[in-house]
Structure 1
Amino acid sequence: MIAFAEKHREVLNQVLRQNNTALSPGGPFAALIQFPKLLDFDVKRKYFRKELGKMDGDRGFRRADVQVQVRRSQIFSDSFRELYRLRPNEWKHRFYIIFQGEEGQDAGGLLREWFSVITREIFNPNYALFITAPGDMVTYMINKASYINPEHLDYFKFVGRLIAKAIYDNKLLDCYFTRAFYKHILNLPVRYQDIESEDPAFYNSLEFLLNNPIDDLGLDLSFSLEVEEFGVRSIRDLKPDGRKIDVTDANKEEYVKLVCQMKMTG
C-alpha cells in the first residue's frame, strides 16, 4: 500500500482532493493517515475539517451563542476575563462579539475583526508573552522572560485556546510561530537545525562544532549552558553534573542535541 502510494502520489492526491472519504476509518486508504508526508496539505486540511464536523455530530453537540463584550482598547484583558472561565466544551459555541460603545450586529464580520485585533494584542510587548525570532523577524517564539507577568501561564493557556478556537471555526490568524514552537506543541523532538531561525549565530557555531575536530577549535566546552536573565548570569547543567563533563568529538552530537533542547524548549 505505502509503496503504491509513494509511486502514484500525485494521482492519488488528485483523487483524494475530490473525495477524501477513502481516508476515513474502514476506507481503502485509511492507512495513509499514519503517513502524512504522502498527502498534500489541501487533502489533509479537508480531511481535518471533515473529522472536526463528525466530532460534533457523533456526540449530538448543539452550538449555542456565547456573548463576548469587549472594549476595543482593552480587547485582550476583556476577552481573557470573559472567556477564561468557559469550560473546554463551551469554546465550541458560537461567539457573539460586541464592541462596547460601537453599533453593529455580529453576522460574522465582528467575529473576524475580533480575531484579527486580538491576534495583534497577543504579541503586544506589554504582555511579554512572545518575541520575534531574531533569525527572520517574522515568526514568533515564547519570551523566556514571560514570567515577569504574574499571569503569564494563564495567558499562555488562554492564547492556546484562542488559536484552537480559530482552527475549530476555520478562521485565519495573521501570525506565524517558529518551527521549534510547533514541534513543542505537537510533542515532536527538536533538531539542531530548528534553532536557525531563533538564534542564527548559535546555529552557525553548532554547525562549525559538528564539522570540525574539537581539539582544532581550542574550545573549553562542558555539558552546561550559560544563561542571562535581567543582567544576572547563571550556569545550567544539560545533564546531571554537566558542568563537570567535557565535550569531546565522541559526545559532541549529544551535547548539540541537549543544548538545543534547553534553548528551544526549556
Structure 2
Amino acid sequence: MTILRHIPFTVPFDDRVFLFRQCVKEDRLTTGAPQQSSAFYPRPIRRDHLSDDGFDYFCSAETAALKGRIRVTFLDRDGHQEQGLDGGGLWKEFVVTLLEESFDPERGLWAKNEEQELYPYPQKFAREARQLKWYKFIGRMLGKALYDNILIETVFAKFFLAKWVGESGGLDSLASLDPYFHRALVALKQWESDDCLDPDTRFDIVDIDLGQPDTIELIPNGSNIPVTKDNRIRYIELVCKHRLDDQIAEQTQAFLAGMRDLIELKWLKMFDSSELQQLLGGVDKDVDVDDWMRNTSYEGGFSINDPCVKTFWTIVRSLDHQQKRLLLRFVTSCSRPPLLGFVELKPKFAIRCSSDDQSRLPTAATCFSTLKLPRYKSADVMRDKLLQSITANAGFDLS
C-alpha cells in the first residue's frame, strides 16, 4: 500500500483495478450495507419520468442503503407495473439510462468541449441551489455505478477528471477545455518582443451568461490594468484559474460530494485522468472472444455445442473491432468489455433461442445481458440479420 500511496503507476493498471474492487468489497462489509437477501426497494420507477423519480428516491437516500443491493421495478407509460423480478439487470438498466439522461447537455448541467467531452456547465444558472442538488445527485449515481461495477459510455474532459483526484489545473489543462484560447495564451506566454501587447487586453475576462456579456475582473480594478510583458504570466495564471476552477467550483464540489457518499476519493488517486476514464467506461481494446465464450450461458434449448451457437461464435470472430463493440453495446448497453474480463459482467452474458422464424431479427434484453437469437439455418442469413440489428438497434427489446 505504501507503493500505491506514493508511486501507484509502477503497479500495472489491471492490478490497481483489482485493488479498487477490493476496496469497494471491504467497504460493503465494514459499513454493513444490505446484501441481496435484504435489498433496498424504492417505489416503482416510471419509465417516462425516470430521471425525476430517480432524483426523488435517491437524492436523499441513506448512504448505507445506497451501498447495499438495490432492486427496482418499472411502471410502463400506461402506469402498469412491468412483469419480472430484478436480479440486478433492471438496476443496471436504470443506472445506465439515468446517467445517459442526466449527462445530456440539453438538460443544461453539462457542456462539451471540441472533443465532445463533458464538464460542468460554467454559467451562473448551474450554480443555483436546485442545480447544485442535481450535481450532487448525479455524483452519487456515478459513484454508485463505480461501486457496483457498472460501466458507462460518458466521456469527461481531462481537466475535470483531474479534479476528482485533487489535481489543480494550469495552462496545459486549458487545452482540454478550450484549445483555441489555450493556443492564444501559449503565444502570449512565449511573447519576447519589446513591442506593446494589445492595449485592450486587461486583467478582466468576459463571460457570456445566457447570451449576455458579463465582465469579470481578475484582480481589483482589473479592467483598468493593461497586460504587459512583465505581468503577462500572472494574467495567464488568473485566466486559467477562472476558466478551469472558479466557473465550475460549486458544481464540481457538489458533484464530488455526491460521489464521496459511495467512493473514497483516495481510492481514485491510484489512477490518472486517462485511467479514471477507463475505470468508468472500460478500455478501448479488441474483444477477447475466447474469454467471452467461457463466460456465456445458454437458454431456450441452446447449448455450447449447438450448430447455431457454433455458427454465431464463428461470425463474432469474423466481425471487425467496431462491429464487436456494437454487438456488445446492443446486448449489454456498454460497447467495451469489462475491465477484468467477462467474468465481471453482471448479469452474465446469455444467448437464448427465441424462435425458428428465419425472417426475425435478433433482439436483446439488455437488463439481463441476453441475446435472443432465432435458430437460423444459414450462416449468411444469421450474419446479415445480426448486423442489421446491431447497426440500427433495430431489434432492441427490454422485455
TM-score (norm 2): 0.55
Aligned residues: 236
Q: 1:99: which partner in 2?
A: 74
Out of 27, 52, 58, which is 2:24 matched to? 52
Q: 2:131: which partner in 1?
A: 152
What CA distance in whole angstroms lies between the structure 1 residues aligned with 2:193 and 2:84? Answer: 66
What CA distance in whole angstroms lies between the structure 2 residues aligned with 1:116 and 1:78? Answer: 15
- Shift in CA distance, 44/54, structure 1 to aligned 2, threshold 3 Å: same
What CA distance in whole angstroms lies between the structure 2 residues aligned with 1:212 and 1:140? Answer: 32
Q: 1:11: which partner in 2?
A: none
In the TM superposition, residue 217 of structure 1 has moved relative to its aligned partner by 6.5
For the pair shown, the structure with the greater C-alpha radius of gyration is 2
Q: 1:84: which partner in 2?
A: 59
What CA distance in whole angstroms lies between the structure 2 residues aligned with 1:263 and 1:208? Answer: 18
Q: 1:197: which partner in 2?
A: 176
What CA distance in whole angstroms lies between the structure 2 residues aligned with 1:159 and 1:254? Answer: 35
Which runs of no fewer than 5 residues in structure 2 stay unpaired? 77-81, 248-399
- Shift in CA distance, 33/205, structure 1 to aligned 2, threshold 3 Å: same
Secondary structure at the counterpart of residue 72 of structure 2:
strand
Which runs of no fewer than 5 residues in structure 1 stay unpaired? 1-22, 24-29
Contact 1:128 1:146 in 2 (8 A): no
Is residue 40 of structure 1 aligned with residue 15 of structure 2? Answer: no
In the TM superposition, residue 58 of structure 1 has moved relative to its aligned partner by 3.5
Is residue 65 of structure 1 aligned with residue 55 of structure 2? Answer: no
- Shift in CA distance, 114/217, structure 1 to aligned 2, threshold 3 Å: farther
Contact 1:52 1:168 in 2 (8 A): yes
Q: 1:234: which partner in 2?
A: 214
TM-score (norm 1): 0.80
Q: 2:151: which partner in 1?
A: 172
Out of 218, 239, 257, which is 2:197 matched to? 218
- Larger RCO, structure (CA 8 Å, separation 6 or more): 2
Identity rate of aligned residues, in percent?
A: 25
Out of 210, 215, 231, which is 1:251 matched to? 231
- Shift in CA distance, 55/223, structure 1 to aligned 2, threshold 3 Å: same
In the TM superposition, residue 114 of structure 1 has moved relative to its aligned partner by 1.2
Contact 1:146 1:152 in 2 (8 A): no
- Shift in CA distance, 111/215, structure 1 to aligned 2, threshold 3 Å: farther
Q: 2:292: which partner in 1?
A: none
In the TM superposition, residue 118 of structure 1 has moved relative to its aligned partner by 1.1
RMSD (CA atoms):
2.2
In the TM superposition, residue 202 of structure 1 has moved relative to its aligned partner by 0.7
